[in-house]
Amino acid sequence: MQAAETARSAGRPANDLTAYDLYLRAYAMALSSARQIREALRLMEQAIARDPRYGPALAWAAYCCFRLLADGRSDDPAADRLKGVDFARRALEVAGDDPDVLATAAHALATFGEDIGAIMALLDRALALNPSYARGWYISGVLRNWAGQPDIAIEHVEAALRLSPRARVGNTVMTIGAAHFYARRFGEAVPKLLLAIQENPSFPHPYRYLAACYAHMGRLDEAREIVTRLRAITSDVIPDASYYRSAEHRELFLSGLRLAAGEAK
């Protein structure tokens, strides 16, 4: 499905073929490793400089900005947030009926604090345009988690996995693990989060969920071991969690992390 989506996007290439090549290289980096997000953003920005109305590059540049912030890899969070919002809004202006541009830009804007109901409506539109769009179902699952709807999140991510069982559409296993965590099914969350770490050891977020999960289970030695591994990846152990719209879920996540990291409330 991922290959099919790439081929579909090729039907509407950038006006500048070099921009299209830069986008494809950056797209592969953005999906492959958290450590490559900064380089992916650099290439997306080069593509945008050559074609300022190139929707896919604008949307994925916004995605890269939010990943830098979420992963604790940004050197200037305020600037990257402003840049990400600008890229995402410009992407929506030129998105037309491209479900990938709509969904990817919406994903970024949800992270930057836009109204979650309006953002989920954008996802619904993307999925109406292409009901077989696996990555759109995955992003919808992520947003349902953020909106405090973990069981619907699992349904949507599992739909993505049925549509695209092999090609990578996002951090699907981690998202399912996070949903089980928010539903307080900690025993079901742990194996998913361990698998997510194996799949992408450079991505900080599954370590955070797993540490919080172990902490709430009373397995503090294991929680602290996971925090030690997390610190080898990022100094940002307890991140900004404002994009979790449910105060209860946000506190469940942050209180577990504080306990695992040995920090006072």
Instruction: Using pLDDT thresholds of 50, 70 and 90, give the confidence band for residue 15.
Output: low
For residue 260 the two structure tokens come to 């695992």
Q: How confident is the model at residue 243 (pLDDT cuts 50, 70, 90)?
A: confident
Q: Is the pLDDT of residue 10 over 50?
A: no
Domains of the chain: 1-6+14-133 (1.25.40.10), 171-265 (1.25.40.10)
Which pLDDT score is estimated for 13? 54
- Using pLDDT thresholds of 50, 70 and 90, give the confidence band for residue 265: very low
Judging by beta carbons within 10 Å of its beta carbon (0-12, 13-18, 19+), is residue 168 exposed, middle or buried?
Answer: middle
* Three-state SS annotation for 78-129: HHHHHHHHHHHHHHHHHCCCCHHHHHHHHHHHHHCCCCHHHHHHHHHHHHHH
The pLDDT of residue 7 is 47
Tokens of 180: 């089980």
CA distance to 41, 99, 130, 200, per residue, from 179 (Å): 28, 24, 25, 18
Would the pLDDT of 4 be above 80?
no
Tell me the C-alpha distance between 173 and 27, whole Å.
20
Question: Residues 140-189: pLDDT tens digits?
Answer: 999 999 999 999 999 999 999 999 987 778 889 999 999 999 999 999 99
Q: Is residue 168 within 8 Å of 2, Cβ to Cβ?
A: yes
Which residues neighbour 211 within 8 Å (Cβ) at sequence distance 6 or greater?
223, 224, 226, 227, 230, 256, 257, 260, 261
DSSP 8-state symbol, 234: -
Tens digits of residue pLDDT in 25-82: 999 898 777 789 999 999 999 999 999 999 999 999 999 999 999 888 899 999 999 9
Position 169 scores a pLDDT of 81
Which 3 state secondary structure label does DSSP give 98? coil
Question: Residue 22 corresponds to which amino acid?
Answer: L
Q: What is the pTM for the complete model shown?
A: 0.87
pLDDT band at 244 (very low <50, low <70, confident <90, very high): very high
Q: What is the pLDDT of residues 100-148, one digit of tens each?
A: 999 999 999 999 999 999 999 999 999 999 999 999 999 999 999 999 9
Q: How far apart are CA 20 and CA 143, in angstroms?
A: 29
The three-class DSSP label of residue 203 is: coil
Question: Apex CA 254: angle with CA 248 and CA 258, to 5°?
Answer: 140
> How confident is the model at residue 32, as a pLDDT?
78
Residue 8 confidence (pLDDT) above 60: no
Dihedral of alpha carbons 115, 119, 120, 125, sign: positive
Residue 233 has pLDDT above 80, yes or no: yes
Q: What is the mean pLDDT of the chain?
A: 91
